[in-house]
Amino acid sequence: MSFTNLGGDATLIVPSPRTNEDAYGHFASFLRNAPVLQVDALWQKIAGTVLEMVSDRPIWLSTAGGGVAWLHVRIDSTPKYYGYAPYRSTK
C-alpha cells in the first residue's frame, strides 16, 4: 500500500504483514524474512514511485522509522530524516 503523508510532500510505501509478523519490524528483517514475492513487489513499487516523482528537483528515499511505529519506505521531497549532513545536500 502507498499513500501521501499528511503534509503532502512525501509518499509512504507500507508492506502489509502476511506471515511471520517478526519480518515486519524493520527493513532489514523484512528483506531477510518476508515472502520473496512480497519483497520483489515492494522493490517494484519503490522503483515505480521514484520514476513518477523524478524531475529536476531531488528526492530522498529512506526507511527511517522514528516518526511512526511501523515498517515503511519514505520517498520525500526534503531530507527530513537524514541526520548526516553530506546526505542532506543536493550538491
| Cβ-Cβ contacts under 8 Å for 80 (sequence gap 6 or more) | 10, 60, 74
Which of the two residues, 20 and 42, has the higher pLDDT score?
42
Would you list the domain boundaries of the chain?
2-88
As a whole number of angstroms, the distance between CA 35 and CA 91 comes to: 38
Report DSSP letters for 58-83, one per residue. --EEE---SSSSS--EEEESS-TT--
C-alpha pair distances (Å), 79 with each of 1, 19, 54, 55, 82: 22, 32, 15, 16, 5
Q: How confident is residue 64, by pLDDT bands cut at 50, 70 and 90?
A: confident
Comparing CA positions, the residue from 88, 59, 80, 63 lying closest to residue 12 is: 63
Which tens digit of pLDDT belongs to each residue from 24-58?
888 999 999 999 999 999 999 999 999 998 888 89
